[in-house]
Amino acid sequence: MNTGTTRRLRSLDVCSGAGGLALGLEQAGFDPVLLLDNRDVACRTLRANRPSWKVLETNLLDFDPCEHTETYDVDLLSAGLPRVKATAAVARRDSEAELELLRATMLLLYGVQPRALLVENVPDLVTKPDYAPLRSFVAEELSHLGYRHAWFVVNAADFGVPQIRRQGILVAFKGDLLDSFVVPTPTTLPHRTVGEALLDSMSAGGWAEAPRWAAQADQPAPTLVGGSWERGGADLGPTGSKRAWARMGVDGATVADAVPGPDFRWAPESGRTSMMPLTVAQAAILQGFPPSWRIEGRKTAMYRQVGHASPPPVGRALGAAVMAALQA
């Protein structure tokens, strides 16, 4: 029974990365008792922004909740898992690291017994036939443990993020709480554009042409892609994304150290040398991070964290919907 009061709830966040999902959930009323990630630089980012958070640097596959009893019976287990590939579902079930993490998240339910589960991943996990074996595995595990679940897809642009970023979402609740869950509806239509989001940033170095550039950047960003941690430098995504950035006069093949200065001559028709790349801080804005959120590490590692992050405004919307169901 809802008494009209809202109390803060407890969560466990795994594969936390730069903290985008955890930050959004915090804004929705969830306080993490523990966050874990296997990358030192991501853990440093989490600690730099929330010194009060308990952050554990470990692989999810090695995590034993028996050693962290504060995680028992939390209200929510949240996971921003690395992107599961379709080949993991149909060809290499036992060897794909991403699949192993999804399976580990399901198995973690046995030890933690949260009231609710929230997993964010690729939209294809929800919609494509290639992923049917994974969805079946998830359904069997959740049913065995007494959870009812739902899959759906959200677009970050619908929640104020100036980026077209479709996310596949899994929610599950113990008992009949799923009946009280309502999928978040769009809050920001029309969508925010890159120009709107970055005009102040592009002007910060004294670049007088920033308003003209912003007028041309009149659409949301294509999906930011973090890329592989093992190879390559930082860029804004595959060839199609780079072409979309070029139409906005942005060089998507690299990441800048600083915003344009007063002497920068913007002539996108002349090619990359006359376009400006985005900075890591600007990429973070396009992911919906607040300007105060610090990303630790060197430039490429910083961009990797931002590109792989779950946008905080989406986490907040999802968290509010989960919170409402738990307190119904």
Cα–Cα distance for residue pair 323/179, rounded to 1 Å: 13
pTM value? 0.93
Question: CA nearest 102: which of 79, 133, 74?
Answer: 79
* pLDDT tops 60 at residue 4: no
* pLDDT tops 70 at residue 3: no
User: What is the per-residue pLDDT for 89?
Assistant: 42
List own/partner pairs for 4-10 with CB under 8 A and 24 or more apart: 6/323, 6/327, 7/327, 9/75, 9/76, 9/323, 9/326, 10/74, 10/75, 10/76
- Kindly state the average pLDDT of the residues 131-143: 93
Cα–Cα distance for residue pair 260/207, rounded to 1 Å: 6
Give percent helix, percent strand, percent coil of the chain, each to the nearest 5. Answer: 45, 15, 40
User: What is the per-residue pLDDT for 97?
Assistant: 77
pLDDT in tens, 161-220: 999 999 999 999 999 999 999 999 999 999 999 999 999 999 999 999 999 999 999 999
* pLDDT tops 80 at residue 94: no
* pLDDT tops 50 at residue 320: yes
* pLDDT tops 90 at residue 91: no
pLDDT band at residue 96 under the 50/70/90 scheme: low
The 3-state DSSP class for residue 245 equals: helix
User: What is the per-residue pLDDT for 92?
Assistant: 46
More confidently predicted of 97 and 38: 38
- Kindly state the average pLDDT of the residues 223-237: 83
From 18-22, 43-47, 154-158, 224-228, the region with the lowest mean pLDDT: 224-228
* pLDDT tops 90 at residue 244: yes
More confidently predicted of 177 and 99: 177
* pLDDT tops 50 at residue 41: yes
pLDDT band at residue 263 under the 50/70/90 scheme: very high
Domain spans in the chain, listed from the N-terminal domain onward: 9-187+310-326, 194-306
User: What is the per-residue pLDDT for 254?
Assistant: 94
Q: Are 315 and 164 in contact (CB under 8 A)?
A: no
Fold of 9-187+310-326: Rossmann fold (3.40.50)
User: What is the per-residue pLDDT for 5?
Assistant: 53
- Kindly state the average pLDDT of the residues 87-98: 51
